[in-house]
Every structure is written in C-alpha cells, then in structure tokens.
Structure 1
Amino acid sequence: MTFPVVGMVGGGQLARMTHEAGIPLGIRFRLLSDTPQDSAAQVVSDVVVGDYRDLDTLRTFARGCDVITFDHEHVPTAHLRALEAEGIPVRPGPDALEHAQDKGVMRARLDAIGVPCPRHRIVADPADVVAFAAEGSGFPVVLKTVRGGYDGKGVWVVDGADEAAEPFRAGVPVLAEEKVDFARELAANVVRSPHGQAVAYPVVESVQVNGVCDTVIAPAPGLDPDLAAAAQELALKVAAELGVVGHLAVELFETRDGRILVNELAMRPHNSGHWTMDGAVTSQFANHVRAVLDLPLGDPRPRPPWTVMANVLGGDYPDMYTAYLHCMARDPQLKIHMYGKDVKPGRKVGHVNTYGDDLADVRERAAHAAGYLRGTIQE
C-alpha cells in the first residue's frame, strides 16, 4: 500500500477521534500510547506502548511513520528537534509547538507580532506578584505555571501575597496576568498546511465551569460580525507567524468594551472544535489529518445554523450505556461520542453534539443529554 502512516504521540481521546477521521481516507495510524488501555489504544491496531519523554522510544516509534503529530503538547522540544534533524517530518514542528508548551514564550512572541493579550509578566516570588498587581488594577491576579497546566490545572486566581506561594512550589517559572473582566470566552479554530493553505471555522462561544470546558456554541451567538472576522484573522495571523502546521485553537476573551484578547493557544485538535464532527462540512480532525499530510484542506463551513457541544463528565453514575435508550429515544438527532474511559468524577469521558434551527432548543437538548448520561438528570 502507498497510503501514508501517521504517527500520533499520545493515546487520549483527541488521538482516538483523529484516527476515526483518517479511516475514510485510508490513512494508517501508528500510536505511541502510555498504556494499552488509553482511549485511542483501544481502537488503533498499531500501538507502541512507551514513554514519549524518552528519545530512543520516540526514534523507534517514528521509524515506521511518514509524519509525526500529537494529541498533547508535552513532548520535549529537544526530542522533536532531534527527530527533525534525522529527516522525520514533525507537524506542528518544535519551533511552533514551543509556543503552546511554554506560556512565557507564547506571551513574548504574541507581544512581538502585535497580538492583543492581557497585561502580563514573569514573576519571581509572591512579593513580585504584589508588585505586578500594584502596577495595574490590583488584585485579583491570575498566576500560571508556564509549563504543564491544562483544564484549570496550573492556574490560580489569587487575592493577595498570602495566596501566591502555591504556584512557585512547582519549581517552574510563573506567569502573572491581569484578571480580565470579560463578557464571555470565545475560541477561533483554524487549520494550516505546510504550503500555507489555511481555513478558519466559525468563532464559537466556550462556556467554562470550574476551569473546565462545559459547553461550546457554534457560532457564538450575538457576536458582532466584524469582531468575528477580526478573531478569525487574528487566529490565521498567529498560525502563519508561528509556522503552525495542523489545527490551532486560539482561546479568546471578549471584553465588555468589545475587544478580543488572546488567553491560550493549543496546537492540536481542541475541545472547542468537537462540534465540527457533526456540525461542519469538514471536521477539525479530518482537516488536521489533511494538514499534516499536506493534502488540500476541506470546507470548514457549518452545516446547520446552530450546533452545540456539551462535555460528558464522569459522576456517581458509572454505567452510562444504560442511559442511551432514554437519550436516543428522546432525541433521534443526538450524536454521542464516548472515549472508552473509566468513569471518574469530573473526568471528561465523552461529549454530545446537537444541532438545528432553534438555538434554545439545541442548547436544551445538549444539556439534557450530557446531564442524563452523567446521572444528574433523571427524566
């Protein structure tokens, strides 16, 4: 067979869904997974179990692949540079990926290319946090470890010096940011190929609960068309300036005075793009596969007027399968995507997508299905 082999580092749900998108194209996948039980390892036939932090493991894994991509951003940058030096295509490459791995590097580069961000700087200790607060509007201040955080982990909102010690115990630099008084959170998802073709999905609203994405509404309701276009243009600019290949999610704050500020970057398929599996002509996963293989990109336009994604989090109701009967009978258009994970409280174990012409109805259906699967809704 002449069809290429895509090597996916990381065995989580993003790898699982990316593999699913490659099946109709005849693309073969090879997976480097932490354990045989990981989400993607359950469905990919060619699985290598090993530690992505070990260079020899990465080298051995990559020898059977035509291109390497990721479902997380934690592979050491030096290892990726070594693979590239040995002629192995890595997409996104280490020069780009470093901006998603290190928040300090990201902020410095975004400043340099004129991208609007919250006020920020690296701080040395709790006393420096107090100084940072005094330079602006005071407390509260957001503190982030520059590496390793996700889904609210590695992020603290502090109201004074007595609360600022915890982030420094991680032993990595700490970034201080102003706490933005935002109206809502948005996300601009784009995909870029090696030869520079790029597509932009509609800007979405992302609703967070306890630091974790709960619901995504596509497109963001009531968003000024000019601001939506500006957000798409900003994301495309970031992708081009940083040399991103593959999917880029730009998480944004919409401020109360009508501006957008960049919060975070993710260089992989992203939770804010899961709606595209059922709501767009070409999903984020299919376009990520196309991009890393340098194939022409697919149409990112939405199919229905509204699509809503709701994450299914684990609760005290472990047997979600028994809930399918009710959910599917109540809403025959409902799309359920489960990740094959053991159910643990607060853990993302799946998501649901609903779509239609009436936003209120679409939102209610998504919230009901996610709640019923979790066990927080009983009827």
Structure 2
Amino acid sequence: MTFPVVGMVGGGQLARMTHEAGIPLGLKFKLLSDTPQDSAAQVVGDVVIGDCRDLDTLRAFARGCDVITFDHEHVPTEHLRALEADGIPVRPGPDALVHAQDKGVMRAKLTEIGVPCPRHRIVKDPADVAAFAAEGAADGGDGFPVILKTVRGGYDGKGVWFVRSVEDAEDPFRAGVPVLAEEKVDFARELAANVVRSPHGQAVAYPVVESQQVDGVCDTVIAPAPGLSEDLAGQAQELALRIAKELGVVGHLAVELFETRDGRILVNELAMRPHNSGHWTQDGAITSQFANHVRAVLDLPLGDPRPRAKWTVMANVLGGDYPDMYAAYLHCMARDPQLKIHMYGKDVKPGRKVGHVNTYGDDLDEVLDRARHAAGYLRGTITE
C-alpha cells in the first residue's frame, strides 16, 4: 500500500508540528521552504528550497504530491488556481484561502452571509479615515480611536495600527496598499473557535478558548474559555462551522472572536491553517489540530476533538535577552515533570516565538501558574 504524499508550502513551526502529527499516520511529507534553517526544514526529510511566490517553483514542487496545503497565507491566489488547473488538489483551495489572505474580501463575504463583524470599510486616505470615524461617533465626539489594517500581509500585530486622530492615520497608507478601517470594539476578552472540515463535509469543533494577547501577540490560551456560557460557546462553534461551510474551507479554520461586554460575539480574524490558539490540542485534546488538519486535507475520517483534561493552558515562549535556553529548559523539565515543552528550533531573538508550553489539570489557577512560570523562566523574566 502506498501512503499519500502531503506537500506543505512554508517551513515554519506550523509545518514542523503538522509533519510531526503525520508521522504516526504513515504519511510522506514534502516541504517547500525559504531556507534550510527554517523550523520545519530542520526535521523534514524531503525539502525543496525555493520561493513560493514563483509559479515554476510551485509547479515543480507539486509534482509527486497528492495534495498541497500551507503553513501561511502568502502564496498568490492566481498561482493556486494554476495548480488546480494542473489537476493538483489544493486544500484549502484559492476560493476559500483568499478570505484569510485579504481582510477586505473576508469582511465583504462575512457581511454578505450575515456573520456579525465590527463596523468596517475600505478607506483611501487619512481624511477618509476621519469620515469613517465620524460615522460611528456618539455624543458629539470625533469617533476616534479606530483600527487600521493593511488588507494583506499582516500578522502578530504587524500591519495593524491603533489610530487616535487623523494625524495618526498617515503611516498605513505609505505602502500604497488598500487599508481597512474598523471600529475599536469595546470587548471583554478575545476568544477563538477552532474547527476542521473535510472535502466531503465532515466537520469537528474544538472547545472555544480564551486567547490573551500582549502587545498584539498571543501570550496565553486557556481551554476551555473560563466562565463562557454554554449558549455563547455553542454560538461560537456553530458560527465557525457555518463559516467553514459557506467559504468551502478544507482543513483547519481558526475564527478569532471578540466577546463584547454586552454578551455578543464578533468575528475579528480568520486563519485557514493550524493556529496558535489551537496549540493546546497537542497535549490537551484526543486529536490535535495538526493531526486533524492532515486528516482533512487527505479526506480521511476526522479524529475526536474533545479535551483530555478539565483545563489545558498554552503559553507562548518568546525570545528574550538570554539566547541560551537549554539550562532553563532543563530546569523547567525537572521542576514540573508533567509540563509539555514544544521548541521550534529557531534562533532566539527578543520577542520572537521560539516555542510554547502546555499544562493541564483540574485546578485552573494551578495550571495557569505552571504554564506562565515555565514560559517566563524559559524567556528569562522569571529566575526562581
């Protein structure tokens, strides 16, 4: 029996962990990576070094692959259409993936299908930003602050501006790309609903999680979201499943959400790949997001998404001023034998995601403390 070959475009940590999940399934994995030093390129046996924005490179890479999937959204849409025209399964396909690539397209489609979103529109210059802000003004105010986003290319707070005045609104337009304006939502917290959908329509939903951000970067994820009502959790899961179906998503879909102070949910962002808010599933769910993504793109039966423990906490490990994490790594393992550490093989640089830790148990305060201590000790902000 010949097992299929999964072609992964992108050599980051998501590809590294997806490859790991495919090993026990007996799958062959082929990687298109920018450099041999990329996170996944260090561990995958079949690596092609090249630029995913070059169509000839993509076509040569795709030969011998049974399916193509991604660890990022940066492949040009027209290149994906060309691969499909060549008869190569691309999952998620270009018609779905464009909604994760282009925030303007995403907002327009979600509005069309009745998904609750922040007030928004494409703006052409700072004066247009001021007009957008004024449209939402109350009590004679100017409507600021607002959020500005480049429609393509932003991630982890990059390409996003918190704008307090029309004078603040100049920077986003300097790159000459379309800019999306959104209202500043008065939210209580950020949530994420992670679902996986296969080509024949089977879908599973993971528990809704709370995602805590620091400086625009995910810091901690708590599964399930503490204190979230059953009704609102069900709404979030149903919404994510509906978006996956309406957009024709194949594979993993992360729907980042705002929980408003008046008890509603609004969609913030979409990602059509394994996602930071789902890293807890590696150790906290019966089937991880990575394993289910692989199953979905190959149209295999999906695995059980239910949690293994009452609480699971994921804390990102960011690089600090101390570049050698190995001694800290040994300390954390000895201090907490139940701790699960996942390192990405990256050079340590301040603020860079270089790994994450997962903890689980029955007492949320204890589980949170263990995760945050380990992440802080690895970074060097905690020394005891």
Partner of 2:273: 268
Partner of 1:74: 74
Secondary structure of residue in 2 paired with 1:170: coil
Q: How does 1:165-184 map to 2 (within 5 A)?
A: 165-184=170-189
Rounded to whole Å, the distance in 2 between the matches of 1:64 and 1:354 is 39
Alignment of 1:369 with 2:374, yes or no, is yes
Partner of 1:8: 8
Rounded to whole Å, the distance in 2 between the matches of 1:151 and 1:64 is 34
Residues 51-73 of structure 1 show CA distances to partners (whole Å, capped at 9, x for unaligned) of 00000000000002000000000
Partner of 2:94: 94
Shift of 1:160: 0.7
Superposition misfits of 4+ residues, deviation over 3 angstroms: none
Rounded to whole Å, the distance in 2 between the matches of 1:16 and 1:328 is 22
Residues 5-40 of structure 1 show CA distances to partners (whole Å, capped at 9, x for unaligned) of 000000000000000000000001000000000000
Residues 93-133 of structure 1 show CA distances to partners (whole Å, capped at 9, x for unaligned) of 00000000000000000000000000000001000000000
Partner of 2:51: 51
Shift of 1:358: 0.1
Rounded to whole Å, the distance in 2 between the matches of 1:222 and 1:245 is 31
Rounded to whole Å, the distance in 2 between the matches of 1:340 and 1:322 is 15
Rounded to whole Å, the distance in 2 between the matches of 1:130 and 1:231 is 32
Rounded to whole Å, the distance in 2 between the matches of 1:331 and 1:204 is 24
Indicate which of 158, 162, 165 corresponds to 1:157.
Answer: 162
Rounded to whole Å, the distance in 2 between the matches of 1:102 and 1:309 is 28
Secondary structure of residue in 2 paired with 1:44: coil
Indicate which of 317, 320, 328 corresponds to 1:315.
Answer: 320
Secondary structure of residue in 1 paired with 2:2: coil
Partner of 1:249: 254
Partner of 1:297: 302
Q: Which amino acid aligns with 2:113?
A: I
Indicate which of 303, 311, 324 corresponds to 1:306.
Answer: 311
Shift of 1:332: 0.7
Partner of 2:140: none
Rounded to whole Å, the distance in 1 between the matches of 2:261 and 2:152 is 29
Partner of 1:327: 332
Shift of 1:325: 2.3
Secondary structure of residue in 2 paired with 1:19: helix
Q: Which amino acid aligns with 1:133?
A: A
Rounded to whole Å, the distance in 2 between the matches of 1:64 and 1:12 is 22
Rounded to whole Å, the distance in 1 between the matches of 2:59 and 2:102 is 24
Segment drifting more, 269-278 vs 318-327 = 318-327
Alignment of 1:282 with 2:287, yes or no, is yes
Shift of 1:303: 0.4
Partner of 2:136: 136
% of aligned pairs identical?
88
Indicate which of 344, 349, 356 corresponds to 1:344.
Answer: 349
Alignment of 1:213 with 2:218, yes or no, is yes
Identify unmatched segments of 5+ residues in structure 2: 138-142
Residues 321-349 of structure 1 show CA distances to partners (whole Å, capped at 9, x for unaligned) of 11122211211100000000000000000
Secondary structure of residue in 2 paired with 1:363: helix
Q: Which amino acid aligns with 1:207?
A: Q
Q: Which amino acid aligns with 1:136?
A: G
TM-score, normalising length: structure 1? 1.00
Secondary structure of residue in 1 paired with 2:174: helix
Rounded to whole Å, the distance in 2 between the matches of 1:127 and 1:73 is 31
Residues 331-379 of structure 1 show CA distances to partners (whole Å, capped at 9, x for unaligned) of 1100000000000000000000000000000000000000000111001
Partner of 1:232: 237
TM-score, normalising length: structure 2? 0.98
Residues 251-302 of structure 1 show CA distances to partners (whole Å, capped at 9, x for unaligned) of 0000000000000000000000000000000000000000000000000000
Rounded to whole Å, the distance in 1 between the matches of 2:275 and 2:57 is 26
Q: Which amino acid aligns with 1:15?
A: A
Number of residue pairs matched by the alignment: 379
Partner of 1:126: 126
Partner of 2:117: 117
Secondary structure of residue in 2 paired with 1:16: helix
